[in-house]
């Protein structure tokens, strides 16, 4: 659990008494579980067997069938209401808390606690205090973060308050991927039409824990490159299933500032870079989706002024179709979209400059800033946001040069960087947050 060694494994290797005690414990768990399951098969829910299941779950909370047995046994008490239901609720909350003390990442125990709270008898204020304490002890327990979102949703707690809470946790530990991910959900609730936002991808060696919500990664699709980091263009008319309007630029600017502080603290940590990728995706969401998708398909190095899409210089993705559609889309843009392109172009240029001055100036071979700059420059070239056709060609050439440097700095992923330099790693995706 985040670098905490499992000491008992080493102890068992060299201690015969410990091995014998462990074998007895396993046998007791196996026999006790078999007894409870036999009673479940017979649909018998006697107090003594419930007590036995509770003792087992305190030791091994992952035996989800035992939780199912308890739910079946307690449904009549909850249905009856009154004192019996309240007693059942308090008892199950105490049991799950005891189980989670030894195994704070037990899927089954957290699920059972949600089931109990959903009955409507637990104090939500108390639950919020309990989960806040749990996150003080382990700030990156994504089960606890998921449970906190469940509680605050039932409380109707304003997302602004939770946004402040996530900021406090991030300041305490910039590597807190779950806190960054929770911000993506909250910002969409506040500005993007509500719902659950797609999570920044966290694949690859050394990545943080999996997406805590468990909902977004499949929609987002795999991100190419180290840590799943790739740059795409939002092609959906709404960005994601939950987004109705893009997050305002001024809000995104504040998030950019926060994540750059994290980079300055530890530029090697992946968590803020995943969040940064999500921010760029939300910036690109301000572009007209069909035009953005078509522009992304044409050769990097061309621009809107390149007519039918004849690039003045080659770049990543040369020879791809869609140039004509891109030009047609550009001609059909109104004043609002033209202004959106100016704003998005300014953000990409600003961020590219920050990568150079704030990060690469101090460490020219830093992998994440190099890869991010390459992706930003490629986006500028493909979307025609670097300026003239010549400037777009220059951006594409810089992207290729950066991929070449990355192949030398990070030889384990040379194949990916070579594909990226040839334009085979620039992906147009349907889901927001995969940039």
Taking only Cα atoms into account, the Rg of the chain, rounded to an integer number of angstroms, comes to 26
**What is the CB-side half-sphere exposure of residue 417 using CA atoms within 13 A?**
23
Closest by CA position to 212, among listed 238, 236, 251, 182:
182
The predicted model scores a pTM of 0.76
pLDDT in tens, the chain (435 residues): 455 555 545 555 666 676 677 677 788 888 889 999 899 999 999 999 999 999 999 999 999 999 999 999 999 999 999 999 999 999 999 999 999 998 999 999 999 999 999 999 999 999 999 999 999 988 889 999 999 999 999 999 999 999 999 999 999 999 999 999 999 999 999 997 654 444 444 333 233 333 333 333 333 332 333 333 344 443 333 334 345 688 999 999 999 999 999 999 888 899 999 999 999 999 998 987 655 555 556 555 554 443 333 333 344 544 333 343 344 444 555 788 889 999 999 999 999 999 999 999 989 999 999 999 999 999 999 999 999 999 999 999 999 999 999 999 999 999 999 999 998 877 543 333 343
Cβ neighbours for 59, distance < 8 A, ≥ 6 positions apart:
25, 29, 102
Domains and CATH numbers, the chain: 7-178 (1.25.40.120), 218-429 (no CATH)
Sign of the four-CA dihedral 99, 102, 104, 105 = negative
């Amino acid at each position: 659990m985040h670098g905490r060694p499992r000491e008992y494994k080493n102890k068992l290797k060299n201690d015969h008494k410990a091995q014998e005690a462990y074998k007895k414990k396993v046998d007791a768990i196996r026999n006790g579980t078999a007894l409870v399951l036999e009673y479940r098969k017979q649909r018998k829910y006697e107090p003594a067997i419930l007590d036995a299941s509770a003792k087992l779950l305190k030791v091994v909370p992952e035996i989800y069938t035992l939780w199912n047995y308890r739910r079946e046994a307690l449904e009549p008490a909850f249905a009856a209401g009154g004192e019996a239901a309240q007693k059942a609720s308090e008892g199950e909350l105490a049991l799950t808390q005891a189980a989670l003390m030894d195994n704070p990442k037990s899927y089954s125990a957290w699920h059972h606690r949600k089931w109990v709270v959903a009955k409507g008898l637990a104090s939500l204020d108390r639950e919020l205090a309990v989960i806040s304490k749990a996150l003080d002890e382990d700030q990156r327990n994504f089960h606890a973060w998921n449970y906190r979102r469940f509680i605050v949703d039932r409380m109707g707690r304003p997302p602004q308050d939770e946004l402040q809470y996530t900021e406090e946790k991030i300041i305490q530990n910039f590597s807190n991927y779950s806190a960054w991910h929770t911000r993506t959900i909250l910002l969409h609730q506040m500005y993007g039409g509500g719902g659950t936002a797609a999570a920044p991808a966290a694949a690859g060696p050394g990545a943080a824990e999996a997406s805590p919500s468990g909902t977004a990664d499949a929609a987002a699709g795999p991100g190419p490159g180290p840590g799943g980091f790739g740059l795409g263009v939002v092609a959906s008319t709404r960005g994601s299933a939950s987004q109705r309007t893009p997050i305002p630029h001024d809000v995104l600017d504040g998030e950019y500032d926060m994540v750059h502080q994290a980079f300055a603290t530890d530029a090697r940590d992946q968590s803020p870079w995943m969040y940064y990728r999500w921010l760029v995706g939300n910036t690109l969401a301000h572009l007209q989706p069909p035009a953005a998708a078509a522009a992304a398909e044409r050769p990097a190095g061309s621009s809107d002024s390149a007519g039918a899409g004849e690039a003045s210089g080659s770049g990543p993705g040369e020879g791809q179709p869609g140039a004509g559609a891109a030009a047609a889309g550009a001609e059909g843009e109104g004043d609002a979209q033209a202004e959106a392109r100016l704003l998005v172009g300014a953000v990409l240029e600003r961020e590219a400059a920050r990568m150079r001055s704030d990060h690469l100036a101090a460490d020219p071979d830093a992998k994440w800033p190099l890869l991010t700059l390459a992706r930003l420059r490629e986006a500028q070239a493909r979307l025609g946001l670097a300026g003239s056709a010549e400037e777009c060609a220059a951006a594409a050439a810089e992207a290729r040069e950066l991929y070449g440097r990355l192949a030398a700095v990070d030889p384990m992923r040379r194949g990916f960087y070579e594909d990226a330099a040839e334009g085979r790693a620039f992906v147009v995706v349907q889901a927001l947050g995969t940039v």
